[in-house]
Structure 1
Amino acid sequence: MTSIPDYMTSKHRECDDYFTEAESAVAKDNWSEAETKWQLFSDEFAQHLSQEEETLFPQFEQATGMTAGPTQVMRMEHQQMRALVQDMNNALEKKLKDEYLGLSETLMVMMQQHNMKEEMMLYPMMAQHLTNGEQLISSFEAS
Protein backbone atom coordinates (compact mmCIF):
# COMPACT_ATOMS: atom_id res chain seq x y z
CA MET A 1 0.00 0.00 0.00
CA THR A 2 1.07 3.54 -0.65
CA SER A 3 -0.04 6.98 0.46
CA ILE A 4 -2.03 9.51 -1.55
CA PRO A 5 1.00 11.84 -1.86
CA ASP A 6 3.32 9.01 -2.97
CA TYR A 7 0.91 7.51 -5.48
CA MET A 8 -0.32 10.75 -7.01
CA THR A 9 3.20 12.19 -7.21
CA SER A 10 4.39 9.05 -9.00
CA LYS A 11 1.55 9.54 -11.49
CA HIS A 12 2.74 13.12 -12.07
CA ARG A 13 6.21 11.76 -12.93
CA GLU A 14 4.75 9.13 -15.26
CA CYS A 15 2.79 11.82 -17.13
CA ASP A 16 5.88 14.03 -17.25
CA ASP A 17 7.92 11.23 -18.79
CA TYR A 18 5.40 10.53 -21.56
CA PHE A 19 5.02 14.26 -22.18
CA THR A 20 8.78 14.76 -22.53
CA GLU A 21 9.10 11.74 -24.82
CA ALA A 22 6.34 13.08 -27.08
CA GLU A 23 7.93 16.52 -27.17
CA SER A 24 11.33 15.04 -28.03
CA ALA A 25 9.82 12.97 -30.86
CA VAL A 26 8.09 16.04 -32.33
CA ALA A 27 11.36 17.99 -32.17
CA LYS A 28 12.96 15.19 -34.24
CA ASP A 29 10.02 15.07 -36.69
CA ASN A 30 9.34 11.50 -35.58
CA TRP A 31 5.57 11.86 -35.88
CA SER A 32 4.74 8.19 -35.35
CA GLU A 33 6.64 8.05 -32.06
CA ALA A 34 5.19 11.43 -31.07
CA GLU A 35 1.64 10.20 -31.59
CA THR A 36 2.29 7.04 -29.59
CA LYS A 37 3.87 8.87 -26.64
CA TRP A 38 1.30 11.69 -26.79
CA GLN A 39 -1.54 9.17 -26.61
CA LEU A 40 0.06 7.55 -23.57
CA PHE A 41 0.39 10.97 -21.96
CA SER A 42 -3.16 12.03 -22.87
CA ASP A 43 -4.69 8.84 -21.51
CA GLU A 44 -2.69 8.92 -18.28
CA PHE A 45 -3.31 12.65 -17.81
CA ALA A 46 -7.07 12.29 -18.32
CA GLN A 47 -7.25 9.39 -15.87
CA HIS A 48 -5.22 11.32 -13.29
CA LEU A 49 -7.46 14.40 -13.50
CA SER A 50 -10.53 12.20 -13.29
CA GLN A 51 -9.26 10.47 -10.14
CA GLU A 52 -8.73 13.85 -8.53
CA GLU A 53 -11.98 15.49 -9.64
CA GLU A 54 -14.32 12.53 -9.21
CA THR A 55 -12.85 10.90 -6.11
CA LEU A 56 -10.17 12.75 -4.17
CA PHE A 57 -11.46 16.32 -4.36
CA PRO A 58 -15.06 15.52 -3.36
CA GLN A 59 -13.94 13.33 -0.47
CA PHE A 60 -11.47 15.98 0.69
CA GLU A 61 -14.15 18.67 0.47
CA GLN A 62 -16.55 16.52 2.46
CA ALA A 63 -13.96 15.73 5.12
CA THR A 64 -12.78 19.33 5.57
CA GLY A 65 -15.77 21.44 4.55
CA MET A 66 -13.44 23.39 2.21
CA THR A 67 -15.30 23.69 -1.08
CA ALA A 68 -14.06 27.10 -2.22
CA GLY A 69 -10.40 26.48 -1.44
CA PRO A 70 -7.56 24.61 -3.05
CA THR A 71 -9.72 22.09 -4.92
CA GLN A 72 -11.58 24.87 -6.69
CA VAL A 73 -8.26 26.35 -7.87
CA MET A 74 -7.06 22.92 -9.01
CA ARG A 75 -10.24 22.33 -11.02
CA MET A 76 -9.80 25.69 -12.76
CA GLU A 77 -6.21 24.83 -13.61
CA HIS A 78 -7.30 21.42 -14.89
CA GLN A 79 -9.65 23.14 -17.33
CA GLN A 80 -6.85 25.39 -18.56
CA MET A 81 -4.56 22.41 -19.05
CA ARG A 82 -7.26 20.42 -20.83
CA ALA A 83 -7.67 23.29 -23.31
CA LEU A 84 -3.93 23.26 -24.01
CA VAL A 85 -3.97 19.48 -24.44
CA GLN A 86 -6.73 19.86 -27.03
CA ASP A 87 -4.74 22.54 -28.87
CA MET A 88 -1.70 20.25 -28.81
CA ASN A 89 -3.81 17.36 -30.14
CA ASN A 90 -4.78 19.57 -33.07
CA ALA A 91 -1.20 20.69 -33.72
CA LEU A 92 0.06 17.10 -33.57
CA GLU A 93 -2.68 15.89 -35.91
CA LYS A 94 -1.68 18.57 -38.46
CA LYS A 95 2.04 18.01 -37.83
CA LEU A 96 2.55 21.67 -36.88
CA LYS A 97 5.90 21.31 -35.16
CA ASP A 98 6.47 24.91 -34.07
CA GLU A 99 2.92 25.31 -32.78
CA TYR A 100 3.11 22.04 -30.88
CA LEU A 101 6.45 22.91 -29.30
CA GLY A 102 5.25 26.37 -28.30
CA LEU A 103 2.14 24.97 -26.66
CA SER A 104 4.29 22.27 -25.09
CA GLU A 105 6.41 24.88 -23.30
CA THR A 106 3.29 26.56 -21.93
CA LEU A 107 1.73 23.32 -20.74
CA MET A 108 4.97 22.12 -19.15
CA VAL A 109 5.26 25.31 -17.06
CA MET A 110 1.59 25.04 -16.04
CA MET A 111 1.94 21.39 -15.08
CA GLN A 112 5.09 22.04 -13.04
CA GLN A 113 3.45 24.85 -11.08
CA HIS A 114 0.22 22.90 -10.66
CA ASN A 115 1.97 19.71 -9.57
CA MET A 116 4.06 21.57 -7.01
CA LYS A 117 0.91 22.97 -5.37
CA GLU A 118 -0.64 19.52 -5.22
CA GLU A 119 2.51 17.74 -4.06
CA MET A 120 3.57 20.29 -1.45
CA MET A 121 0.17 21.29 -0.08
CA LEU A 122 -2.95 19.49 -1.29
CA TYR A 123 -1.83 15.85 -1.26
CA PRO A 124 -0.35 16.08 2.27
CA MET A 125 -3.60 17.72 3.41
CA MET A 126 -5.54 14.85 1.84
CA ALA A 127 -3.34 12.29 3.58
CA GLN A 128 -4.07 14.04 6.87
CA HIS A 129 -7.86 14.29 6.41
CA LEU A 130 -8.82 11.20 4.39
CA THR A 131 -8.76 8.12 6.57
CA ASN A 132 -9.47 5.86 3.58
CA GLY A 133 -6.43 6.95 1.55
CA GLU A 134 -4.99 3.47 1.11
CA GLN A 135 -8.36 2.13 0.00
CA LEU A 136 -8.68 4.93 -2.57
CA ILE A 137 -5.22 4.24 -3.95
CA SER A 138 -6.01 0.52 -4.18
CA SER A 139 -9.10 1.34 -6.22
CA PHE A 140 -7.03 3.58 -8.52
CA GLU A 141 -4.43 0.86 -9.02
CA ALA A 142 -7.17 -1.64 -9.88
CA SER A 143 -8.66 0.57 -12.59
Structure 2
Amino acid sequence: MSQAVKELVRQHRECDDQLNRVEAALQKDDLASAGRNFRLFHEELEGHFTLEEKKLFPAFEEATGMNSGPTVVMRNEHAEIRSLSDEVNAAIEAGQTAQALAAIDTLNVLIQQHNVKEENVLYPMCGNSIQNLEGKLGMGSACCGACSCG
Protein backbone atom coordinates (compact mmCIF):
# COMPACT_ATOMS: atom_id res chain seq x y z
CA MET A 1 0.00 0.00 0.00
CA SER A 2 1.45 3.35 -1.04
CA GLN A 3 2.03 6.17 1.40
CA ALA A 4 -0.73 8.16 -0.32
CA VAL A 5 -3.27 5.37 0.18
CA LYS A 6 -2.15 4.96 3.80
CA GLU A 7 -2.73 8.69 4.33
CA LEU A 8 -6.20 8.54 2.77
CA VAL A 9 -7.11 5.62 5.03
CA ARG A 10 -5.68 7.49 8.03
CA GLN A 11 -7.92 10.43 7.16
CA HIS A 12 -10.92 8.08 7.15
CA ARG A 13 -10.01 6.92 10.66
CA GLU A 14 -9.54 10.49 11.90
CA CYS A 15 -12.99 11.45 10.63
CA ASP A 16 -14.48 8.32 12.24
CA ASP A 17 -12.82 9.12 15.56
CA GLN A 18 -14.02 12.71 15.48
CA LEU A 19 -17.60 11.68 14.71
CA ASN A 20 -17.41 9.23 17.62
CA ARG A 21 -16.46 12.18 19.86
CA VAL A 22 -19.57 14.02 18.67
CA GLU A 23 -21.71 11.01 19.47
CA ALA A 24 -20.13 10.57 22.92
CA ALA A 25 -20.78 14.23 23.76
CA LEU A 26 -24.39 13.90 22.64
CA GLN A 27 -24.86 10.80 24.75
CA LYS A 28 -23.78 12.93 27.73
CA ASP A 29 -26.18 15.64 26.54
CA ASP A 30 -23.20 18.01 26.23
CA LEU A 31 -24.34 20.08 23.26
CA ALA A 32 -21.46 22.56 23.53
CA SER A 33 -18.86 19.80 23.22
CA ALA A 34 -20.90 18.07 20.51
CA GLY A 35 -20.96 21.31 18.53
CA ARG A 36 -17.19 21.87 18.87
CA ASN A 37 -16.44 18.28 17.93
CA PHE A 38 -18.86 18.42 15.02
CA ARG A 39 -17.08 21.49 13.62
CA LEU A 40 -13.78 19.60 13.81
CA PHE A 41 -15.38 16.57 12.14
CA HIS A 42 -16.79 18.77 9.40
CA GLU A 43 -13.38 20.39 8.75
CA GLU A 44 -11.64 17.01 8.56
CA LEU A 45 -14.34 15.54 6.34
CA GLU A 46 -14.34 18.50 3.94
CA GLY A 47 -10.54 18.47 3.77
CA HIS A 48 -10.61 14.79 2.86
CA PHE A 49 -13.43 15.17 0.33
CA THR A 50 -11.68 18.16 -1.26
CA LEU A 51 -8.47 16.17 -1.66
CA GLU A 52 -10.37 13.36 -3.34
CA GLU A 53 -12.63 15.53 -5.51
CA LYS A 54 -9.99 18.05 -6.63
CA LYS A 55 -6.94 15.80 -6.91
CA LEU A 56 -7.49 12.04 -6.57
CA PHE A 57 -10.60 11.61 -8.70
CA PRO A 58 -9.37 13.80 -11.59
CA ALA A 59 -5.99 12.00 -11.55
CA PHE A 60 -7.77 8.65 -11.67
CA GLU A 61 -10.06 9.76 -14.48
CA GLU A 62 -7.11 11.10 -16.46
CA ALA A 63 -5.05 7.93 -15.93
CA THR A 64 -7.84 5.50 -16.79
CA GLY A 65 -10.18 7.45 -19.05
CA MET A 66 -13.03 6.34 -16.76
CA ASN A 67 -15.19 9.44 -16.41
CA SER A 68 -18.43 7.68 -15.56
CA GLY A 69 -17.12 4.97 -13.26
CA PRO A 70 -16.38 4.71 -9.56
CA THR A 71 -15.53 8.38 -9.10
CA VAL A 72 -19.07 9.37 -10.06
CA VAL A 73 -20.43 6.98 -7.43
CA MET A 74 -18.03 8.37 -4.81
CA ARG A 75 -18.94 11.99 -5.62
CA ASN A 76 -22.63 11.12 -5.28
CA GLU A 77 -21.97 9.46 -1.94
CA HIS A 78 -20.00 12.51 -0.80
CA ALA A 79 -23.12 14.59 -1.53
CA GLU A 80 -25.27 12.19 0.52
CA ILE A 81 -22.79 12.29 3.41
CA ARG A 82 -22.69 16.09 3.29
CA SER A 83 -26.49 16.27 3.35
CA LEU A 84 -26.74 13.94 6.32
CA SER A 85 -23.94 15.85 8.08
CA ASP A 86 -25.99 19.01 7.62
CA GLU A 87 -28.91 17.25 9.34
CA VAL A 88 -26.69 16.31 12.28
CA ASN A 89 -25.42 19.87 12.56
CA ALA A 90 -28.91 21.35 12.40
CA ALA A 91 -30.12 19.00 15.14
CA ILE A 92 -27.15 19.88 17.36
CA GLU A 93 -27.70 23.60 16.81
CA ALA A 94 -31.40 23.19 17.63
CA GLY A 95 -30.57 21.28 20.82
CA GLN A 96 -32.29 18.14 19.51
CA THR A 97 -30.05 15.47 21.00
CA ALA A 98 -32.20 12.47 20.05
CA GLN A 99 -32.51 13.61 16.43
CA ALA A 100 -28.78 14.28 16.23
CA LEU A 101 -27.97 10.82 17.60
CA ALA A 102 -30.38 9.17 15.15
CA ALA A 103 -28.83 11.05 12.23
CA ILE A 104 -25.32 10.12 13.43
CA ASP A 105 -26.31 6.44 13.46
CA THR A 106 -27.34 6.69 9.82
CA LEU A 107 -24.30 8.81 8.96
CA ASN A 108 -21.94 6.27 10.55
CA VAL A 109 -23.42 3.46 8.47
CA LEU A 110 -23.22 5.51 5.27
CA ILE A 111 -19.62 6.57 5.93
CA GLN A 112 -18.49 3.04 6.77
CA GLN A 113 -20.05 1.63 3.60
CA HIS A 114 -18.45 4.44 1.60
CA ASN A 115 -15.03 3.92 3.17
CA VAL A 116 -15.10 0.18 2.46
CA LYS A 117 -15.69 0.88 -1.24
CA GLU A 118 -12.91 3.45 -1.39
CA GLU A 119 -10.40 1.42 0.60
CA ASN A 120 -11.08 -1.93 -1.08
CA VAL A 121 -11.92 -0.86 -4.63
CA LEU A 122 -11.10 2.72 -5.60
CA TYR A 123 -7.84 3.27 -3.72
CA PRO A 124 -6.22 0.06 -5.04
CA MET A 125 -7.35 1.03 -8.56
CA CYS A 126 -5.79 4.46 -8.05
CA GLY A 127 -2.58 2.96 -6.71
CA ASN A 128 -2.33 0.70 -9.75
CA SER A 129 -3.15 3.29 -12.39
CA ILE A 130 -1.88 6.71 -11.24
CA GLN A 131 1.82 7.33 -11.68
CA ASN A 132 3.39 9.35 -8.83
CA LEU A 133 0.22 9.23 -6.72
CA GLU A 134 1.87 11.02 -3.79
CA GLY A 135 2.95 13.87 -6.06
CA LYS A 136 -0.48 14.16 -7.67
CA LEU A 137 -2.04 14.47 -4.22
CA GLY A 138 0.53 16.96 -2.99
CA MET A 139 1.88 14.51 -0.45
CA GLY A 140 5.52 14.70 -1.46
CA SER A 141 6.17 17.67 0.84
CA ALA A 142 5.41 18.41 4.48
CA CYS A 143 1.81 19.11 3.46
CA CYS A 144 -0.47 16.09 3.23
CA GLY A 145 -2.53 17.69 0.45
CA ALA A 146 -5.75 17.93 2.45
CA CYS A 147 -5.57 21.68 2.88
CA SER A 148 -5.62 24.69 0.60
CA CYS A 149 -1.82 24.88 0.42
CA GLY A 150 -1.59 21.39 -1.11
- TM bucket (normalised to shorter chain) is over 0.9
Distance 1:68 1:25, change over 3 A: same
* Offset from partner CA, 1:11-40 (integer Å, 9 cap, x none): 000000000011110110111211111111
Over the residues paired in the alignment, what is the CA RMSD in angstroms?
1.3
Report the CA distance between 1:138 and its aligned residue.
3.2
Q: Distance in 2 between matches of 1:127 and 1:39?
A: 31
Report which structure shows greater RCO (CA 8 Å, sep ≥6): 1
Please state if 1:9 is matched with 2:9: yes
The unaligned stretches of length 5 or more in structure 2 are none
- Taking structure 2 as the reference length, what is the TM-score of the superposition? 0.90
Q: Distance in 1 between matches of 2:95 and 2:12?
A: 26
Aligned match of 1:71? 71
Identity of aligned residues (%): 41
Partner letter of residue 116 of structure 2?
M
The unaligned stretches of length 5 or more in structure 1 are none
Aligned match of 1:112? 112
Partner letter of residue 89 of structure 1?
N
Question: Is this contact kept in 2: 1:57–1:71, CA < 8 A?
Answer: yes
- Taking structure 1 as the reference length, what is the TM-score of the superposition? 0.94
Q: Distance in 2 between matches of 1:128 and 1:4?
A: 12
Q: Distance in 2 between matches of 1:81 and 1:125?
A: 23
Question: Is this contact kept in 2: 1:4–1:123, CA < 8 A?
Answer: no
Aligned match of 1:55? 55
Aligned match of 1:141? 144
Partner letter of residue 51 of structure 1?
L
Residues 115-130 of structure 1: matches in 2 within 5 Å?
Answer: 115-130=115-130
Whose helix proportion is higher, 1 or 2?
Answer: 1
